[in-house]
Amino acid sequence: MRKQLPPEMLARDSRFVRTSIMDQVMDPRNAKMGERELGSARLQPERPAAADRARNLMHGIFTGEIQALEGAGRTTFDFDDDEAPFALKLDMARQCWDESRHVEISVKLGDWMGTEIGEYSEATFLYEAACAPDPILRLCGVNRALEGLAIDVFNTMREFGDLSGDPVLEFCEDWMLADEVTHVKMGSDWLRRLTADDPERRERALDFQRTVDKLFSLGGFRGESEENPIQLARTFRSMAGFSTDEIDELAEIAAQAQEDARAMVAGGS
Amino acid sequence: MSNVTLTPAEFTLVKFDADQVRALIDQTLGEIEFPVDVDVTIDVDEVLPHPLTASMANVVDGAAHLWYTGGCFESPKRQTGLSVDHTRVELGVGLLRAKDRLVGGFENAPADEQLDDRQRTLWDTYAEGRLVPLGFPVRIPRRRYTFRLYGGFNDVADAAFEQLWTGAPITWDGLSAMAESLAAADTRPERKKSLRKETLRQAPAA
Amino acid sequence: MSDPSKPRAAFAPWDRRELPGLFTVEESARRVGTYKWLEMRLFESLGGWVATVPELDVKLVLGRHCYHHAWHAELMDKRLPELREMNTDRLCEPANPEMVAFVAALQEPEAPEHTIEKLVGIFRVLLPRKIAAYTYHMNATSRITDSPTQRSLGFMLQDEFEDWREGEMLLQSLIETPEDVERAARRQAELETLVLAAGGIAGPGTLGSDVVTEGASV
């Protein structure tokens, strides 16, 4: 088995269909959508199409958890003992188990919500962030940026479960949220430990994290306004080791991504 | 056969084949035994993608007017592509509801714009349940979740779902009474009960 | 009411543990070091394979088992300093070059259609070998002086048995044709030959056969 498995080699059964970020960016409806007054984009039961939007997001969480499992698994294998400390690999193995459990939870939740495995297309950009050649970049890209996004997503879904009175959804999301806080904290701790004497490497890792954060704020997907489907979960991020300055910076990245999207729509219409 | 008008006549933003959609409409009209002397207009807003699903089925001056977001017909697996299964079920539910308004005991029902989420999901369930024996590719867990979301996560709502899903005849008066009984049984705080009045439908830009 | 001043034996009548064991501190440490090395290679392999197997149930099981073996490696790592090996990396090594060759062959399959080969290596070759070696260690070492190792091995064996059963059931569900049976058997034979050449996961004497033939104290 080779070290560094490219995203196109992720193994899936025949139910799964892959999509690329270009499919989404090049969709001719994007510009027209920008011209519409569709109201708040927040995922809430009282918003139109709430059931299908929740199902869609749930399937996105499901495939994201598969890729998080695969990314953590690859980090245990891709690096020799001198590249990644034993304790880091143990943490990644632990994350494998957690992500495996999250996939199981997501499948059960999909059943509950009436979603079938592979019903929606799968984008692999989460795993792509887990392909960085430096383990600390992976930890920043995956554990801090993407697992941080997972905190925001799970918190949003947990609130959706609470608002809709869905006891199963709220219960499951709350448990997964607890795990994600642990994973993000893991990333924050390893970033500090491995770069304590190497500020340049730390800066490279944080730069990579910013890139991933910006990618996942694309088009205003995540932020703090009514226009963002996924809301930034400040309290849980703080529990996971993010400083207030870091959360503020992320909010700025998200706001900038939204502005970029608006400019793109304005330019295209 | 009804006189059918599909708008747009050709799709430009999504890869839907208008002839294929027209054929699916004709097929559905036949399968649900839609009154042959009633004209049907179907508007598809192709700007709105999946998962922004929403639809309306009204009767105005004796003609059926249906409106769908493009997302209702879109394949979640292939962006901008048509899903025949989704399209068949969406058309089946919409046209059955239009038929209910014409001859099915829903002649006195308010227009779709006036329905709340609970009333609407009850009616959709009643319609979709009747598609099962006709062989439409319906998915009960999907409908059940939507039903619970708007009807309540409790045994009363589940019993109502079973009753509607079996397709036992019901009128608008019966259905609206059922919606009221669900509201009474819903123990969620008021703020958690979704009774929206917002819509994704917009007048086309001038 | 019991008499608190009444003397009682240190060992209850039913506690039949004996002091002597076959292993010295050094030999127990050596074996624990080889176990740690192997558990590391194993959890890394499972972690690497997660992305390469298309079967969703197998993918999730490998993710779960990956952590089991990482925890075993951690248990062995923690035991080493207690066995006078302060540099835990020093004894974390394969028993011999043949063991390295075995692990390399074990990790070789990558393609998504090779799930049977991957699982046979783990569940029909390596796990049975580990169960045998850990059981021998538990039975051979002093149940009093080396009981911390025994306790850890007990936890590990519990995982090994349950994981082996789960893996074997996955394999039986994947093996559907006589050709699949042949594939699985061929793969098992290839790997068994290699682990045989290594003398077992802890090298020659893994199951103590050398001790019997040579009459050595270890």
Q: Choose, out of C36, C38, C59, C72, the residue to mutate when testing the contact with A (most A CBs < 10 Å).
A: C59
CB pairs under 8 A between A and B: 117
Strands A18-19 and B55-60: unpaired
pLDDT score for C22: 92
Nearest residue to C44 (alpha-carbon basis) of C30, C59, C65: C65
Residue A4 parent element (H or E): none
Domain match, B67 and B167 both: no
Against chain A, the chains showing at least 3 CB pairs within 8 Å are: B, C
Minimal C-alpha gap between B14 and chain A (Å): 8
Length of chain A: 269
Residue A113: φ, ψ to 5°: -95, 0
pLDDT score for C218: 43
pLDDT tens digits, C1-54: 789 999 999 999 999 998 989 999 999 999 999 999 999 999 999 999 999 999
Domain match, B37 and B70 both: yes
Which residues are within 8 A (CB) of A223 and not within 5 positions of it... i.e. 6 or more apart? A217, A230, A231, A232, A251, A254, A255, A257, A258
Q: Is B5 helix (H, G, I), strand (E, B) or coil?
A: strand
In a domain, B203, yes or no: no
Q: Which residue has the higher pLDDT, A250 or A123?
A: A123
Q: Which of B49, B83, B106 is the last residue of a domain?
A: B106
Q: Is A20 helix (H, G, I), strand (E, B) or coil?
A: coil
Q: What percent of chain C has pLDDT over 90?
A: 88
Strands B4-7 and B40-45: parallel
Nearest Cα residue in chain A from B142:
A114
Calculate mean pLDDT across residues A51-74.
95
Lowest model confidence (mean pLDDT) among A41-55, A70-84, C59-73: A41-55
Lowest model confidence (mean pLDDT) among A68-82, A151-165, C66-80, C109-123: A151-165
What distance in Å separates the CA atoms of residue A205 and residue A203, rounded to the nearest whole number? Answer: 5
In a domain, B122, yes or no: yes
Strands A222-223 and A122-123: unpaired
Residue A233: φ, ψ to 5°: -95, 85
Read off the amino acid at residue C160: E
Selecting from B77, B142, B186 the residue whose C-beta is nearest the C-beta of A114 gives B142
Domain match, B139 and B51 both: no
Contacting residues of B for A59, CB less than 8 Å apart: 76
Rounded to the nearest integer, the mean pLDDT of chain A is 88
Residue A221 has pLDDT above 80, yes or no: no
Domain match, B6 and B92 both: yes
The secondary structure of A144-166 as a DSSP string is IIIHHHHHHHHHHHHHHHHHHT-
Against chain B, the chains showing at least 3 CB pairs within 8 Å are: A
pLDDT one digit per residue (tens) for chain B, 206 residues:
789 999 999 999 999 999 999 999 999 999 999 999 999 999 999 999 999 999 999 999 999 999 999 999 999 999 999 999 999 999 999 999 999 999 989 999 999 999 999 999 999 999 999 999 999 999 999 999 999 999 999 999 999 999 999 989 999 999 999 999 999 998 877 655 555 555 677 654 43
Evaluate the CA torsion angle A148, A112, B118, A119 in order and state its sign.
positive
Distances, alpha carbon A171 to alpha carbons A82, A176, A234, in Å: 41, 9, 20
Domain match, B2 and B100 both: yes
Domain match, B37 and B76 both: yes
In a domain, B41, yes or no: yes
Nearest Cα residue in chain A from B186:
A165
Residue C211 has pLDDT above 50, yes or no: no
Length of chain C: 218
Q: Is B60 helix (H, G, I), strand (E, B) or coil?
A: strand
What distance in Å separates the CA atoms of residue C158 and residue C124, rounded to the nearest whole number? Answer: 17
> Is B142 at the interface with chain A, CB within 8 A?
yes
Lowest model confidence (mean pLDDT) among A124-128, B113-117, C109-113, C114-118: A124-128
Domain match, B22 and B93 both: yes
Contacting residues of C for A97, CB less than 8 Å apart: 63-64, 66-67
Q: Which of B106, B128, B149 is the last residue of a domain?
A: B106
Q: Is A80 helix (H, G, I), strand (E, B) or coil?
A: coil
Q: Which residue has the higher pLDDT, C154 or A177?
A: C154
Asked if the Cβ–Cβ distance from C50 to A73 is below 8 Å, we say yes
Nearest residue to B102 (alpha-carbon basis) of B137, B136, B60, B46: B60
Which residues are within 8 A (CB) of B5 and not within 5 positions of it... i.e. 6 or more apart? B39, B40, B41, B42
Q: Specify the residue for token string 């009984």.
A: B181
C touches A, CB cut-off 8 Å, minimum 3 pairs: yes
Domain match, B38 and B101 both: yes
The total number of structural domains in chain B stands at 2
List, in sequence order, every beta strand (DSSP E) within B47-168. 55-60, 63-69
pLDDT tens digits, C1-15: 789 999 999 999 999
In a domain, B33, yes or no: yes
Asked if the Cβ–Cβ distance from B149 to A33 is below 8 Å, we say no
Asked if the Cβ–Cβ distance from A164 to B152 is below 8 Å, we say no
Asked if the Cβ–Cβ distance from C43 to A101 is below 8 Å, we say no
Number of neighbours of residue A137 by Cβ within 10 angstroms: 22
pLDDT tens digits, C168-177: 999 999 999 9
Residue A181 has pLDDT above 80, yes or no: yes
Residue A269 has pLDDT above 60, yes or no: no
What distance in Å separates the CA atoms of residue A59 and residue A57, rounded to the nearest whole number? Answer: 5
Looking at the DSSP assignment, which residues form a beta bridge with residue B45? B69
Asked if the Cβ–Cβ distance from C44 to A74 is below 8 Å, we say no
What distance in Å separates the CA atoms of residue A150 and residue A146, rounded to the nearest whole number? Answer: 6
B touches A, CB cut-off 8 Å, minimum 3 pairs: yes
In a domain, B205, yes or no: no
Domain match, B69 and B21 both: yes
Calculate mean pLDDT across residues A212-221.
76
Domain match, B90 and B186 both: no
Give the domain extent around B90.
1-106
Cis peptide before B49 (omega within 30 of 0): no
Asked if the Cβ–Cβ distance from B71 to A38 is below 8 Å, we say no
pLDDT tier at A42, thresholds 50, 70, 90: confident
Strands B40-45 and A222-223: unpaired
Selecting from A12, A86, A93 the residue whose C-beta is nearest the C-beta of C67 gives A93
Lowest model confidence (mean pLDDT) among A96-100, A139-143, B146-150, B151-155: A139-143
Distances, alpha carbon C16 to alpha carbons A65, B141, C22, C144, in Å: 50, 59, 17, 11
pLDDT score for C176: 97
> Is A26 at the interface with chain B, CB within 8 A?
no
Q: Are A254 and A232 in contact (CB under 8 A)?
A: yes
In a domain, B199, yes or no: no
Q: How many Å separate Cα A49 from the centre of its chain?
A: 22
Helices (runs of H) and strands (runs of E) counted in chain B: 6, 4
Evaluate the CA torsion angle B110, B111, B112, B115 in order and state its sign.
negative
Asked if the Cβ–Cβ distance from A27 to B80 is below 8 Å, we say yes
pLDDT tier at A266, thresholds 50, 70, 90: low
What distance in Å separates the CA atoms of residue C47 and residue C42, rounded to the nearest whole number? Answer: 9
Which residues are within 8 A (CB) of B19 and not within 5 positions of it... i.e. 6 or more apart? none
In a domain, B198, yes or no: no
Strands B4-7 and A222-223: unpaired
Residue C217 has pLDDT above 50, yes or no: no
Asked if the Cβ–Cβ distance from A72 to C47 is below 8 Å, we say yes
> Is A111 at the interface with chain B, CB within 8 A?
yes
Asked if the Cβ–Cβ distance from C51 to A101 is below 8 Å, we say no
Q: Which of B106, B133, B168 is the last residue of a domain?
A: B106
Asked if the Cβ–Cβ distance from B192 to A19 is below 8 Å, we say no
Q: Are B167 and B130 in contact (CB under 8 A)?
A: yes
pLDDT score for A219: 67
Distances, alpha carbon B146 to alpha carbons A52, A54, A104, A111, B183, in Å: 8, 10, 22, 13, 15
Interface residue ranges in chain C relative to chain A, Cβ cutoff 8 Å: 40, 43-56, 59-64, 66-67, 69-71, 73-74, 77, 89, 107-110, 112
What distance in Å separates the CA atoms of residue A214 and residue A224, rounded to the nearest whole number? Answer: 14
pLDDT score for C134: 98
Which residues are within 8 A (CB) of A45 and not within 5 positions of it... i.e. 6 or more apart? A160, A163, A164, B149, B150, B192, B194
Q: Choose, out of A70, A75, A98, the residue to mutate when testing the contact with C (most C CBs < 10 Å).
A: A70
Domain match, B9 and B97 both: yes
SS3 assignment for chain C:
CCCCCCCCCCCCCCCCCCCCCCCCHHHHHHHHHHHHHHHHHHHHHHHHHHCCCCCHHHHHHHHHHHHHHHHHHHHHHHHHHHHCCCCCCCCCCCCCHHHHHHHHHHHCCCCHHHHHHHHHHHHHHHHHHHHHHHHHHHHHCCCCCCHHHHHHHHHHHHHHHHHHHHHHHHHHHHCCCHHHHHHHHHHHHHHHHHHHHHCCCCCCCCCCHHHHHHCCCC
Region label for B81, one of left (φ > 0), alpha (ψ between -120 and 50) or beta (otherwise): beta
pLDDT score for B191: 57
Domain match, B41 and B89 both: yes
In a domain, B9, yes or no: yes
